[in-house]
Amino acid sequence: SAVISQKPSRDICQRGTSLTIQCQVDSQVTMMFWYRQQPGQSLTLIATANQGSEATYESGFVIDKFPISRPNLTFSTLTVSNMSPEDSSIYLCSAGLAGGEQFFGPGTRLTVL
């Protein structure tokens, strides 16, 4: 298994600013993912965070808006840039293990005013 922590757990931000969310895993994992969960919706994959190379983004998500770093096998960051109220969501990171299981972080609840 893997235990995942995220910081911050929640934040309230002003329109036009940026927020960086950190994700820490307690063990080395091959795959890390970032998801968005808009109010009342299910999870949507933003991107796969690749160690040592650029993240792989899903359709509808771009690097300029959601830059991702993954400097090693236990840590990743997601930045939500130039925020607008439409970015208000829960952002979750997850770690994928070789057997196909994913473990999720506690989420970051973002409110943009």
Partner 1 sequence: KNEVEQSPQNLTAQEGEFITINCSYSVGISALHWLQQHPGGGIVSLFMLSSGKKKHGRLIATINIQEKHSSLHITASHPRDSAVYICAVTGNFNKFYFGSGTKLNVKP
* Chain residues in the site for partner 1 (CB under 8 A): 31, 33, 37, 41-43, 45, 90, 92, 96, 99-107, 109
Beta-bridge mates of residue 103? 95
Are 31 and 98 within 8 A, CB to CB?
Answer: no
Q: From the CB of 100, what's the least distance to partner 1, in Å?
A: 5
Using CA atoms of 33, 38, 41, 44 in order, give the dihedral in degrees to the nearest 10: -20
Residue with smaller CB distance to partner 1, 4 or 83 = 4
Residue with smaller CB distance to partner 1, 59 or 64 = 59
Q: From the CB of 96, what's the least distance to partner 1, in Å?
A: 6
Question: What's the per-residue H, E or C state across 82-94?
Answer: CCCHHHCEEEEEE
Residue with smaller CB distance to partner 1, 7 or 82 = 7
